[in-house]
Structure 1
Amino acid sequence: MTFENPSREHIKELLANAGNIAVVGLSDKPDRTSYMVSAAMQSRGYRIIPVNPNADQILGEKCYPSLSDIPEPVDIVNVFRRADQVVPVAEESVKIGAKVFWLQLDIVNEEAGRIASEAGLEVIMDRCIKVEDAILNPRNN
């Protein structure tokens, strides 16, 4: 069966109910897409939790080396990693009880999607969380 993202209306609902968004692969370099997307989401009121084993703090938030090290609940796991590296991230997302497994634009991995989906997580692939939020929740900034 071919993967299909949830409807835009459902994605809007997932974003509206998002508390903590753990960002796997969040770079501390401001010119990187992961940094720009996360900064934009943070400026729109979302709580970003960086997951980067090589940094102590990004965007004013404490970094964690892995999802399992985060001491609070995670609603969305937003992934900025190559497609061939996301299966372990899906497994860890399941382990921590995340609600949504979100692969950024141009990232698709059917096995990772299946792992997350079979464990009850909502799965979104090949979509930019910042773009979806801007389309579904337009605001005057």
Structure 2
Amino acid sequence: MSAITERARQFLKGKTFAIAGVSQRRDDAANYNYRTLKKKGYRVLAVNPKYDQFDGDPCYPSLKALPEKPDGLIIVTSPAITLDLVREAVEVGIPAIWMHRATGTTNAFKSSESPMQSSVSEEAVRLAEENGIQVIPGSCPMQFAGDVGHRCMGWIFRMTGGMKEPVSVHPEKA
């Protein structure tokens, strides 16, 4: 088993996840993560300051507004917003963060990434690591817990080098 697969399994052992970036205007990765994890029996908490509800459930304006501390945070936003979310996660005490990147964990496909394909911010990764938060900077939870197509995509990334073990920005803390 690869190290990234083990990190994903550890993350997905959580029971409650906050999903930052859900939207009522589009069908995207945040929405798919929310709906799929909910169907699989996880407790999911939608986070977006623009909405009061998402899919009939409460949608919270911030991590501080959540009714409970989640086991993990899945971020599907722009990298600029990711840093603010990690700052808030540090304050709230969220132990694990997954920063979504549609194209795996490496920058191999960076030239083709649109701003919404990656939530990864090196500064946010550094902040999370400095505060003892387990972070997965890239890939997508659905490549480990989603439908067959997403799992196949994850397998292809692992086989072609697009999903390597993320390198810590602080190797001494890894």
Task: Output the TM-score relative to the length of structure 2.
Answer: 0.68
Specify whether residues 11 and 62 from structure 1 end up closer, same or farther in structure 2 by C-alpha distance, changes over 3 A only. Answer: same
The corresponding residue for 1:115 is 127
- Tell me the number of residue pairs that the alignment of Structure 1 and Structure 2 aligns: 129
Percentage of matched positions with identical amino acids: 29
**Residue type of the partner of 1:63?**
C
Aligned with 2:93 (options 90, 97, 101) = 97
- Work out whether residues 20 and 30 of structure 2, in 8 Å CA contact, stay in contact via their aligned partners in 1: no
Aligned counterparts of 2:134 and 2:22: Cα–Cα separation in 1: 21
- Work out whether residues 22 and 49 of structure 1, in 8 Å CA contact, stay in contact via their aligned partners in 2: yes
Instruction: Show structure 2 runs of 5+ residues with no match.
Output: 102-117, 152-174
The corresponding residue for 2:6 is 9
* RMSD of aligned alpha carbons: 1.6
**Residue type of the partner of 1:40?**
T
The corresponding residue for 2:78 is 82
Tell which structure's C-alpha radius of gyration is larger: 2
Instruction: Show structure 1 runs of 5+ residues with no match.
Output: 1-5, 136-141
Aligned with 1:67 (options 63, 67, 76) = 63
- Work out whether residues 103 and 125 of structure 1, in 8 Å CA contact, stay in contact via their aligned partners in 2: yes
- Work out whether residues 49 and 61 of structure 2, in 8 Å CA contact, stay in contact via their aligned partners in 1: yes
